[in-house]
Structure 1
Amino acid sequence: MKRTVVFMFGLALLGFGSGMVQAADPMSDKEATPTIKERLTKDTITGTLMKVDGEYYSIKDTDGKVNRIHVDKSTKMDKVVVGDMVKAYVTDQGHTTTLQRDN
């Protein structure tokens, strides 16, 4: 009986430890994914996030062109910071439907 209790306690500690490791990456808890429709019908901008100015984000693409996109509460977004590689799904009017980190 004593052996079983010690074994269960050990398992509980292992489970607690693995939860701590998972919580160590704050970026892993929220990942934005575009819908199939977005993937098929929206333009994409891929590059480095250069600037965040309120609802407007500036992305520098691989050709060196800086694109200004609009985000708001309806935009599905990963947690991104200046310097991250990102991919934005953008409408013809320049509104971003999904903004995600591009690894």
Structure 2
Amino acid sequence: MKKLIGLFLFALVLSIGMASLSYAAGDMAAPSTQTVNGDLLKIDGEFYVVKEMSGKETRLHVDKTTTLDSSINVGEKVEAQATEKNHAVSIRHVQPKK
């Protein structure tokens, strides 16, 4: 009888532990992104500076995880997806409207 109660308690503790781990994993959502549209003012190492139509300049951090269009040059119109902390998720060239 003691073995049965011990086994039951062990299973209960194990299942509670697993439930808390799965709950914690569910809370890790992807970071929200913002869209930044404008002219690429400069490329300074790992940072791209984009001037939006409103005049606001946004400094975006670029690294190996950032998806870049083939050739983006200073002065071109770009659209960037960035996290709240201004890490660029992707930057692509945008054709100017005619």
- In structure 1, what is the equivalent of residue 38 of structure 2? 47
Shift of 1:73: 0.7
- In structure 1, what is the equivalent of residue 82 of structure 2? 90
- In structure 2, what is the equivalent of residue 25 of structure 1? none
Unaligned residue ranges in structure 2 (runs of 5+): 1-29
Q: Secondary structure of 1:57's match? A: strand
Q: CA RMSD in A?
A: 1.3
CA distance in 1, matches of 2:36, 2:86: 11
What is the TM-score normalised by the length of structure 2? 0.62
- Between Structure 1 and Structure 2, which shows a larger proportion of helix residues? 1
- In structure 2, what is the equivalent of residue 7 of structure 1? none
Structure with greater Cα Rg: 2
* Moved segments of 4+, more than 6 Å: none
- In structure 2, what is the equivalent of residue 11 of structure 1? none
Query: How many residues are aligned here?
Result: 64
CA distance in 2, matches of 1:58, 1:65: 10
The answer to whether residue 69 in structure 2 is matched with residue 59 in structure 1 is no
What is the TM-score normalised by the length of structure 1? 0.59
Q: Secondary structure of 2:36's match? A: strand
Unaligned residue ranges in structure 1 (runs of 5+): 1-37
